[in-house]
Amino acid sequence: MQMPFVVLFLNLGTGEILLIVMFVVMFFGTGKLPEIARALGKGMRQMKNATAEIQREIEIGSTEIQRDINISDEISELKKATEKITGGIKEGLNSIESHHNSKEELNVSKEKETIDNENPLVPPGAVKRD
Protein backbone atom coordinates (compact mmCIF):
# COMPACT_ATOMS: atom_id res chain seq x y z
CA MET A 1 0.00 0.00 0.00
CA GLN A 2 1.49 3.32 -1.08
CA MET A 3 1.05 6.48 0.93
CA PRO A 4 0.43 9.78 -0.80
CA PHE A 5 3.39 12.10 -1.28
CA VAL A 6 1.85 14.78 0.93
CA VAL A 7 1.66 12.46 3.92
CA LEU A 8 5.30 11.41 3.43
CA PHE A 9 6.43 15.01 3.13
CA LEU A 10 4.68 16.02 6.33
CA ASN A 11 6.15 13.06 8.18
CA LEU A 12 9.68 14.53 8.44
CA GLY A 13 11.62 13.82 11.60
CA THR A 14 14.42 15.78 13.26
CA GLY A 15 17.12 13.76 11.55
CA GLU A 16 15.73 14.38 8.09
CA ILE A 17 15.37 18.12 8.73
CA LEU A 18 18.99 18.35 9.98
CA LEU A 19 20.18 16.48 6.90
CA ILE A 20 18.33 18.91 4.60
CA VAL A 21 19.76 21.93 6.47
CA MET A 22 23.31 20.52 6.26
CA PHE A 23 22.88 19.89 2.53
CA VAL A 24 21.66 23.46 1.98
CA VAL A 25 24.57 24.93 4.00
CA MET A 26 27.11 22.83 2.15
CA PHE A 27 25.64 23.50 -1.27
CA PHE A 28 24.95 27.26 -0.95
CA GLY A 29 27.27 28.29 1.89
CA THR A 30 26.57 30.32 4.99
CA GLY A 31 26.83 33.66 3.16
CA LYS A 32 23.89 32.99 0.86
CA LEU A 33 21.71 31.38 3.50
CA PRO A 34 20.01 34.67 4.62
CA GLU A 35 19.29 35.60 0.98
CA ILE A 36 17.75 32.19 0.36
CA ALA A 37 15.65 32.48 3.52
CA ARG A 38 14.45 35.95 2.45
CA ALA A 39 13.63 34.69 -1.04
CA LEU A 40 11.74 31.70 0.40
CA GLY A 41 9.85 33.97 2.82
CA LYS A 42 9.01 36.41 0.03
CA GLY A 43 7.86 33.58 -2.23
CA MET A 44 5.71 32.07 0.52
CA ARG A 45 4.16 35.51 1.24
CA GLN A 46 3.41 36.03 -2.45
CA MET A 47 1.86 32.56 -2.63
CA LYS A 48 -0.26 33.31 0.45
CA ASN A 49 -1.37 36.65 -1.03
CA ALA A 50 -2.20 35.00 -4.34
CA THR A 51 -4.29 32.29 -2.69
CA ALA A 52 -6.06 34.93 -0.56
CA GLU A 53 -6.81 36.95 -3.71
CA ILE A 54 -8.16 33.87 -5.49
CA GLN A 55 -10.29 33.01 -2.46
CA ARG A 56 -11.59 36.60 -2.34
CA GLU A 57 -12.49 36.50 -6.06
CA ILE A 58 -14.33 33.21 -5.57
CA GLU A 59 -16.27 34.65 -2.64
CA ILE A 60 -17.19 37.76 -4.64
CA GLY A 61 -18.32 35.59 -7.55
CA SER A 62 -20.41 33.36 -5.33
CA THR A 63 -21.96 36.42 -3.66
CA GLU A 64 -22.90 37.84 -7.07
CA ILE A 65 -24.39 34.52 -8.15
CA GLN A 66 -26.38 34.31 -4.91
CA ARG A 67 -27.60 37.89 -5.42
CA ASP A 68 -28.66 37.06 -8.99
CA ILE A 69 -30.54 34.01 -7.74
CA ASN A 70 -32.28 36.11 -5.08
CA ILE A 71 -33.14 38.77 -7.67
CA SER A 72 -34.65 36.18 -10.01
CA ASP A 73 -36.75 34.82 -7.13
CA GLU A 74 -37.95 38.32 -6.29
CA ILE A 75 -38.73 39.01 -9.95
CA SER A 76 -40.87 35.87 -10.15
CA GLU A 77 -42.68 36.92 -6.95
CA LEU A 78 -43.28 40.38 -8.42
CA LYS A 79 -44.65 38.83 -11.62
CA LYS A 80 -47.07 36.73 -9.58
CA ALA A 81 -48.16 39.81 -7.61
CA THR A 82 -48.72 41.86 -10.76
CA GLU A 83 -50.74 39.02 -12.31
CA LYS A 84 -52.87 38.88 -9.16
CA ILE A 85 -53.38 42.66 -9.19
CA THR A 86 -54.27 42.76 -12.89
CA GLY A 87 -56.72 39.89 -12.33
CA GLY A 88 -58.36 41.84 -9.49
CA ILE A 89 -58.56 44.96 -11.63
CA LYS A 90 -60.14 43.02 -14.50
CA GLU A 91 -62.70 41.49 -12.13
CA GLY A 92 -63.49 44.93 -10.73
CA LEU A 93 -63.92 46.41 -14.20
CA ASN A 94 -66.16 43.54 -15.23
CA SER A 95 -68.35 43.96 -12.14
CA ILE A 96 -68.59 47.73 -12.71
CA GLU A 97 -69.49 47.15 -16.34
CA SER A 98 -72.13 44.55 -15.52
CA HIS A 99 -73.56 46.84 -12.81
CA HIS A 100 -73.64 49.74 -15.27
CA ASN A 101 -75.30 47.57 -17.94
CA SER A 102 -77.93 46.35 -15.49
CA LYS A 103 -78.73 49.97 -14.54
CA GLU A 104 -79.08 50.90 -18.20
CA GLU A 105 -81.41 47.97 -18.78
CA LEU A 106 -83.44 49.01 -15.72
CA ASN A 107 -83.65 52.60 -17.00
CA VAL A 108 -84.71 51.41 -20.48
CA SER A 109 -87.38 49.16 -18.98
CA LYS A 110 -88.65 52.07 -16.82
CA GLU A 111 -88.81 54.31 -19.87
CA LYS A 112 -90.81 51.66 -21.69
CA GLU A 113 -93.17 51.41 -18.73
CA THR A 114 -93.68 55.16 -18.65
CA ILE A 115 -94.28 55.19 -22.38
CA ASP A 116 -96.68 52.28 -22.05
CA ASN A 117 -98.46 53.98 -19.12
CA GLU A 118 -99.25 57.10 -21.13
CA ASN A 119 -102.72 57.68 -22.49
CA PRO A 120 -103.40 55.12 -25.19
CA LEU A 121 -105.86 57.45 -26.95
CA VAL A 122 -103.16 59.94 -27.91
CA PRO A 123 -101.84 59.26 -31.40
CA PRO A 124 -98.16 58.37 -31.63
CA GLY A 125 -97.11 61.54 -33.49
CA ALA A 126 -99.21 63.98 -31.47
CA VAL A 127 -97.67 66.99 -29.78
CA LYS A 128 -97.94 66.90 -26.02
CA ARG A 129 -99.09 70.06 -24.22
CA ASP A 130 -98.23 70.72 -20.63
Rg (CA), the chain: 47
Query: Is pTM, for the whole model, over 0.95?
Result: no
The answer to whether residue 14 scores a pLDDT higher than 70 is: yes
pLDDT tens track for 20-65: 888 888 888 888 888 888 998 999 999 999 999 999 999 998 888 8
The pLDDT of residue 37 is 84
Angstrom distance (rounded) from CA 3 to CA 79: 57
pLDDT band at 118 (very low <50, low <70, confident <90, very high): low
pLDDT tens column, 73-110: 888 888 999 999 999 899 988 888 888 777 777 666 66
Contact assessment for residue 97 and residue 89, using Cβ atoms and an 8 Å cutoff: no
Predicted confidence (pLDDT) per residue in 17-29, tens digit: 888 888 888 888 8
Residue 1: pLDDT band by 50, 70, 90 thresholds?
very low
**Which tops the pLDDT comparison, 90 or 124?**
90
Run of H or E including 81: helix 33-117
Spatial neighbors of 122 by CB under 8 A, at least 6 apart, are 128
